[in-house]
Amino acid sequence: MTILVTGGAGFIGANFIRYWLDAHPLDRVVCLDKLTYAGNLSTLRPLLGRENFRFVRGDICDRDAVDALFEEERPGVVVNFAAESHVDRSIEDPGVFLRTNVLGAGVLMDACRKFGARRFHQVSTDEVYGDLPLDRPDLLFSETTPIHASSPYSASKASADLLALAYFRTYGLPVTISRCSNNYGPYQFPEKLIPLMIANALADRELPVYGTGENVRDWLYVEDHCRAIDAILSGGRPGEIFNVGGHNEMRNIDIVRLILRRLGKPESLIRFVADRKGHDLRYAIDPAKIHAELGWLPETRFEDGIARTVDWYLENRGWWEEIVSGEYRNYYERMYGGR
Ligand code: NAD
Ligand code: TYD
């Protein structure tokens, strides 16, 4: 079987490709990635020589290139990770989010129809549900929670979900959708909370915490997300949405303090900065459906996963220092200079 993984040079896609080649060594994996600022081919370098792995640089919005790749590879399954994924960047410049996250998903689904893929899986996010209040811990996102996106990023992801469901209903395209909570683990680009705080702490730079740091995210180790997608591909019914999360809600400030403690750095590095516009207060996933229907449960406890992640960033400084020294720095100045 050939599986096409788009966005596989990014954080979750790269972890997924490694996971898939281990779990399904007889499959062929083709990765299509544009290598935007967030894509890093060095993450996939160890796989590049393998016979059952192919990397193709390309844009999911480029219909001719996508069709040509489908014609050549005839993927049975397509998993779409390719996206602009950073909320702060979407607030700065929404246009590219609409292009990649909505139009790109549409181009891939058209190719799936044209070349007869037996599954299109859209990797979505819990952010499509908007946020939950901080003082109602009883409330969780279920698959029937109405879509209520807050940022241009989450609105673009919600749009792709609606398009996928419309392709299922209208054309019978066998789509599935996963809506996962915040991921953490190796190879995450150091603009997202956890790797940014680790990198800054190691360099004795300030740790910029938005607002009061009381916003809550529901963290899942990236490998558990990969296993959830595998479970959906093998057992999930087409047309269905699956929420993915591990009941692991944490306040941002507590994550930042935990990272500082683990690195033996002082809390005086924390700096509270102006809040993100439209900042979602709390995300919390109810994963009852994927557990009941597909038997999926997370395997990594947060204490273990965060320790492993901090150690990974310590042992793989070359990977992220290369990133931090590049284009990322200009972005960093724009985002935090004068804040
Ligand atoms: P990422 O930003 O690390 O990686 C995105 C990848 O997509 C990069 O390799 C980039 O080069 C590629 N890409 C961007 N535009 C492209 C285009 N037009 N054509 C081809 N490739 C393109 O993102 P991530 O954190 O790995 O997230 C992957 C997916 O999972 C996204 O769809 C995101 O919405 C979703 N998601 C992420 C999280 C999270 O916590 N990171 C949680 C839930 C869902
Ligand atoms: P992020 O990793 O950008 O993920 P998302 O916004 O998609 O959940 O941010 C996680 C949380 O951390 C979010 O509440 C915003 C906050 N945050 C900071 O406080 N400081 C930062 O520098 C960043 C990047 C995020």
Q: Which domains does the chain have, with CATH numbers?
A: 2-185+220-248+282-299 (3.40.50.720)
Q: Whose CA is nearest to atom 4 of ligand 2?
A: 192
Mean local confidence (pLDDT), 146-175: 98
Instruction: Count CA within 13 A, CB hemisphere, residue 99.
Output: 9
Distance from residue 49's CA to the centre of ligand 1 (Å): 24
Mean local confidence (pLDDT), 213-235: 98
CB 104 within 8 A of CB 158: no
All residues at 6 or more sequence positions from 212 whose CB lies less than 8 Å from its CB, including other chains = 253, 272
Residues with active-site annotation? 126-127, 153
Shortest CA distance to 222 belongs to which of 43, 27, 24? 43
From the CA of 198, which ligand is nearest? 2
> Within 10 Å of residue 328's Cβ, how many Cβ atoms?
18
Residue 179, ligand 1, Cβ within 6 A = no
The pTM of this model reads: 0.97
C-alpha dist (Å) from residue 132 to 62, 144, 218? 37, 14, 12
User: Which of 5, 11, 224, 226 for a ligand 1 pocket mutation test, highest count of atoms within 8 Å of Cβ?
Assistant: 11
pLDDT band at residue 327 under the 50/70/90 scheme: low
Residue 157, ligand 1, Cβ within 6 A = yes
Give the model confidence (pLDDT) of 277-309 as tens digits.
999 999 999 999 999 999 999 999 999 999 999
What string of DSSP letters covers 225-267?
A: HHHHHHHHHHHPPTT-EEEE--S-EEEHHHHHHHHHHHHT--G
From the CA of 126, which ligand is nearest? 1
pLDDT band at residue 337 under the 50/70/90 scheme: confident
Q: What is the pLDDT of residue 251?
A: 98
CB 185 within 8 A of CB 309: yes
CB 199 within 8 A of CB 262: no
Query: What three-state secondary structure class fits 18?
Result: helix
Q: Whose CA is nearest to atom 1 of ligand 1?
A: 10
Q: Work out the mean pLDDT of the chain and round it to a whole number.
A: 96
Closest ligand 2 atom, CA of 255? 12
From the CA of 339, which ligand is nearest? 2
Q: What is the pLDDT of residue 242?
A: 99
Mean local confidence (pLDDT), 164-192: 98
CB 196 within 8 A of CB 252: no
